[in-house]
Amino acid sequence: MRVQDEQFGMIVDYEDIRQNIHKVYDYIYPEYNLLAATRVATEYAEDDPSISITVGASALAYSILIAAEEYELAAQLKDKIFTLGWTEEHCGSDLLSIRTQATPMSDNPNERNFHIKGSKWLINCSFHADYHLILAKTDPNQDGPRSLSFFLVPQSSCKNWERLETHVLRGMVLTKFDIDGPGVQVGKLGHGLSIIQRMALPSKYQCTSMGVRMLHGSIPAAVEWLGEKRIFGSNPLQFSNVFRQMYDITLKGALYDFMFFRAAALNENGFLQFHGTTLKSFLLLRINEVLSKNWLTVGSKGFVAQSVIGRDAIDSFVLPVFDGHYTINTLMTAKHADRYLGAELHMDMEEQLHRLSQNLYEERPGSEIEANPKEVRKPPFFSYAGYLNQFGVPLPIDWEELIQKCREITDEIEVLGLGSEPEYRYKTGELIHWLESLQAACELWKLTHENNYLNTIVIQYNGVVNHVNTIISEGSLSAEFMLPARQVPISGDTSDPVAFLKRLLNVRAMVRQMPAMSAGD
């Protein structure tokens, strides 16, 4: 899957990718199947993150053609590698300040052929690609939301590639390069930003799926190694300190895995963006943390180059950054805070769990790539406390009080005039993400009836508490600090810790072994 290249050393095998990438595109067009496309990409990559991301980046670029409704091109170009040609060295998230320019080839107002001139930076696959989806401006003096357009630029219009080696994904080849040649308009002129927004809705799920696959590889590998190695006459996993750390990592890994598939299952009815932004920021940051902790706990074995444990911990760091910085995603969630915390709509627990147990892990065609960003701006949130009160969680958590506390915090932020500060918008977005992860933990427990997952609820609750207390502390707010909750004793037979932890990690099996919930159960 990797080849020794004379110029670049050991890199992903672009020729093999070119021959196989249509298998991923086939799940993007003519029918869009989000989970199947990500599964096929990671299966092809055999979970090598450099290959997954190379294929994933090309698939995201290909999906720009769909978001721009360029179906003929999408049908014709299934055996090509594409790049996402957005970033320039001087700008990252601030795409409106790009400088690459597109000049029409004639005076015809309907001209679709342009001369593209500019430079792109840190672009994956750019030396080996067949086509680039280049973001450019027809008028470099404009910087409004209608100033950006997409162009399909062949490799022959590019030059001066210079490899940029990175700390992550070292099998990929990223370059900076110049463009000076013809390109064809993709979508309508001035619609670049709205095409990105449309394509970005499902792309957040694709990017996160790679983080989730890393959990699947790294945590069991750590559990197995710690259960097999012998030091001081025992397996490290038998030491209570190591076991407790791996128990914590396992519970978090199980929840994060569940949160991904839950988001994919519940992303209808306007929730596409809300769940996607939670995944792309909150979940991927938590995945970084848990993979790092996993690596530290396992020790030296994780540092060996062949080990997935160290590799995935390092590579996971890029996931919340590229293809939309996590900050931007968190700021998007902050816009929902008032509606999220104040929602009164009743959500029936049985109905929601039924929906989940029907849709979890199902690879079904959907219209995520065609969703209009405007339609996902107001998801119909429901009463948080009203929903969780139905769960009968046997922990001393008062859901009404929790939501009341969060509202007290956001109200005080407003009263102090801090509501429009990026710092507080970010903190508010994070607060909503923590609350959503706590809700997911309750669903995980209820769907599996697994008592150890009560501790997942406690961990997420304490995450909310910690976040609220940080806001109070850093902002010197007058609100009272919150108290954390106590975990319940570990339940079940832990005499075989490897089997015990691996069972808890296998959320899919645990959900499936429960009789499917039917509304009214």
Ligand X SMILES: Cc1cc2nc3c(=O)[nH]c(=O)nc-3n(C[C@H](O)[C@H](O)[C@H](O)COP(=O)(O)OP(=O)(O)OC[C@H]3O[C@@H](n4cnc5c(N)ncnc54)[C@H](O)[C@@H]3O)c2cc1C
Pick from 36, 168, 485, 498 the residue near ligand X by CB under 6 A: 168
Q: Is 4 exposed, middle or buried (0-12, 13-18, 19+ CB in 10 A)?
A: exposed
Cα–Cα distance measured from residue 297 to residue 294, given in angstroms and rounded to the nearest whole number: 5
Structure tokens at 342: 């104040």
Cα–Cα distance measured from residue 35 to residue 483, given in angstroms and rounded to the nearest whole number: 39
Q: What residue is closest to ligand X based on CB?
A: 92
Q: How many residues bind ligand X (CB under 6 A)?
A: 22
Closest approach, Cβ 61 to ligand X, in A, equals: 8
Nearer to ligand X, 239 or 322 (CB): 322
Q: Is 318 in the site for ligand X (CB under 6 A)?
A: yes
Closest approach, Cβ 473 to ligand X, in A, equals: 21
Q: Is 229 in the site for ligand X (CB under 6 A)?
A: no
Closest approach, Cβ 342 to ligand X, in A, equals: 25
State whether residue 126 is helix, strand or coil: coil
Cα–Cα distance measured from residue 440 to residue 255, given in angstroms and rounded to the nearest whole number: 8
Cα–Cα distance measured from residue 193 to residue 305, given in angstroms and rounded to the nearest whole number: 40
Closest approach, Cβ 85 to ligand X, in A, equals: 6
Residue with tokens 């994956």: 124
Q: Which 404-433 residues touch ligand X, going by CB under 6 A?
A: 422
Q: Which 59-118 residues touch ligand X, going by CB under 6 A?
A: 83-84, 86-87, 92-93
Nearer to ligand X, 86 or 205 (CB): 86
Structure tokens at 250: 């396992």
Q: CA nearest 97: which of 61, 158, 147?
A: 147
Closest approach, Cβ 42 to ligand X, in A, equals: 18
Closest approach, Cβ 292 to ligand X, in A, equals: 18
Q: Is 122 in the site for ligand X (CB under 6 A)?
A: yes
Stretch that binds ligand X, among 9-17, 325-333, 356-364, 381-389 (CB under 6 A): 325-333
Stretch that binds ligand X, among 162-170, 244-252, 385-393, 448-456 (CB under 6 A): 162-170
Cα–Cα distance measured from residue 447 to residue 515, given in angstroms and rounded to the nearest whole number: 9
- In angstroms and rounded to an integer, the radius of gyration of the C-alpha atoms of the chain is 24
Nearer to ligand X, 320 or 463 (CB): 320
Q: CA nearest 396: which of 464, 479, 484?
A: 484
Q: Is 174 in the site for ligand X (CB under 6 A)?
A: yes
Amino acid letter for position 316: S
Closest approach, Cβ 246 to ligand X, in A, equals: 30
Nearer to ligand X, 226 or 413 (CB): 413
**SS3 sequence of 436-483:** HHHHHHHHHHHHHCCCCHHHHHHHHHHHHHHHHHHHHHHHCCCCCCCC
Nearer to ligand X, 49 or 379 (CB): 49
Closest approach, Cβ 429 to ligand X, in A, equals: 11
Q: Is the peptide bond before 236 cis (omega within 30 degrees of 0)?
A: no
Stretch that binds ligand X, among 22-30, 318-326, 497-505, 510-518 (CB under 6 A): 318-326
First to last CA, the chain: 48
Pick from 73, 96, 321, 416 the residue near ligand X by CB under 6 A: 321
Cα–Cα distance measured from residue 222 to residue 48, given in angstroms and rounded to the nearest whole number: 17
Residues that bind ligand X (CB under 6 A): 57, 83-84, 86-87, 92-93, 122-124, 166, 168-169, 174, 318, 321-323, 325, 327-328, 422
